[in-house]
Structure 1
Amino acid sequence: MQDRRNFLKAAALGAAAFSFEGVKATPVTAAGRVVKGQPIVISTWDFGLPANKAAWEVLKQGGRALDAVEAGVKVPEADPKIQTVGYGGFPDRDGHVTLDACIMDELGNCGSVAALEHVIHAISVARAVMEKTPHVMLVGEGALQFALASGFKKENLLTPESEKAWKEWLKKSEYKPMMNIENKTYNSNGATAFSPLQLPGNVYNHDTIGMLAMDANGNLSGACTTSGMAFKMRGRVGDSPIIGAGLYVDNEVGGATSTGVGEEVIRIVGSHLVVELMRQGYTPEAACKEAVTRIVKKSPQKAKEIQVGFLALNKKGEYGAYCLQQGFSYAVCTSDTKNELINGKHYF
């Protein structure tokens, strides 16, 4: 009997090893799916292309997904040409550039900062909150105090270009955002195309880079960072730094992130909703579509005038997105040579 048990045990282990090696050797399959065990990184908007490239450098060397997403979103945070994230972001109506960010790992650990001033890499401060404090979120002056005490450099985030845009906006102080302005910052090769300041009418939107990654060990992490809504009220915070709204990761199921008008995402706790729908068996795209549909049901008229998009990645390596309006794009990277931009499906 003992010999039989040992034989069955050995056979099972051998089969498992054979199956695992087979999966690892299998290349990426059809669009929307990547084989489990193969690293992948996805992110929102055209500026996700250079962000993905930085994240991939971590993943291809067997690095942790958490390190990859931090490295990835730091790219747009530091780029003054991207006026919706980090350095050079549009200020609030009083002229202050305030940043929101959050990060979450495969263990459910998370950190967040909101209304943070004077520090370019809000995502790294959020990670420090996660790793060095007993808290999840720090805001405003407290977040800045913590960042400076942790060694982050105090800098002026308001660039001449964004200051010029703010002063132009002050002439009428009207908020009439142009949707999908974010995907006009980079072309399909990841090179700078043109600035929002070159667009007619000097009308601006805000937006977020949300990023999700799965590493070679099959573990998931996510990051989300933004300078928030252009010319917002002082103290306004959107969905981006809120765990469950702008970002959520459950390593047993998958992760999700959001972009667009954060108030509507908060109302449905959007990213958590997407993950829970995937837990129920929805594909990433179907889960994102259901979240978008709930926004439409709650505010059908408002939904026609704004943009909200969701992006998701499940434990199998399947990914997908869905948005309110045409124009939302997301970037997917699965190798050194495959970093592509995909147009998200839309409700209207």
Structure 2
Amino acid sequence: MPHSRRRRTAYGELLRSSKPRLSMARRVPLGVVGVIAPFNFPAILAMRSVAPALAVGNAVVLKPDPRTPIAGGLALAELLHEAGLPEGVLHVLPGNAEVGAALVEHPEVPCISFTGSTAAGRRIAAAAAPLLKRVHLELGGNNALLVLPDADVEAAASAAAWGAFLHQGQICMTAGRHLVHASLAEEYTRLLAEKADRLTVGDPRDPGNALGPLIDEGQRDRVQSLVDAAVAAGATLRAGGSSDGLCFRPTVLGDVTTDMDAWKEEIFGPVAPVLTYESIDEAVDIINSSEYGLSVGILTADAYRGFELADRIVTGIVHVNDQTVDDEAVIPFGGTKASGVGGHFGGAAANLETFTQQQWVTVQSSIARYPF
């Protein structure tokens, strides 16, 4: 196979110059990229940084979540080794937060690509700042699903159940805030609760179960405390609200208010808080009041109206007539505000921008002459 087919190189660009010379801008590797990956989709969320960083010429140090060191690191390294990746290009560094901190603070790792919680992302950014290190953070989300008054309420409830309960809500794009027009709220909440009650929860190896367990006891207890606090503050438990071991029942909360933590915080569990609104302006203000800005779904009978609303919402992703959970390898994925900062993941242009730096090169046929 010709060399040009065997190796992919970063793109460059020829530039105009006022001097008689070749002038170009090209993308060059950063050197070493430190990747810190989460537990919830360990292989995918590690490889979306590891693969492009390697492809454009970097070496990679990968620290998987300590709860998923095999699926999120060691198994990937073995597969890449079998595929012919040269020795020493990828290192897997299992360990806890102290190991991650050492990677962030290492002076010879000029770039950190982190996917995880906003709280951890803030600590990484603070540690990397004195080193002027490039940091790419894909963080949490408390994503709004906006149901307009003209929406098909049955279809909306179906989309909502998928967006809220898929993978037990352990997805950064989960529909965590259900904002429903007052004229539809009761029917929507009832339909969503019925769907939650029908879902089976248990061993994920059993194909009869729609949902599996949460990651650990600490996360289960956090979800339970947020649900209990909301109910104590006046929310109505319409479905779920309890667990069996680590398996938390899909939960629907009605009569939610904006000051409840179950509305304000990223729950990371199968919980759908439903809040009503009266006007579009009110709904937009409520969505934008969140510190997060990852994904928003807008459900409506008028798709172009939804498209126009996208201009008013501060978020990295908008899906008109779909729920909030979606991703494709060919799109640049990322959020705004507390949901992310730095480069995006996915898509050729985004990967080049994230995992390379630009270098200006000029070439002249002879040494330039100067008057000194």
* TM-score, L = length of structure 1: 0.23
Greater radius of gyration (CA): 2
* TM-score, L = length of structure 2: 0.22
Which structure has more RCO (C-alpha within 8 Å, separation ≥ 6)?
Answer: 1
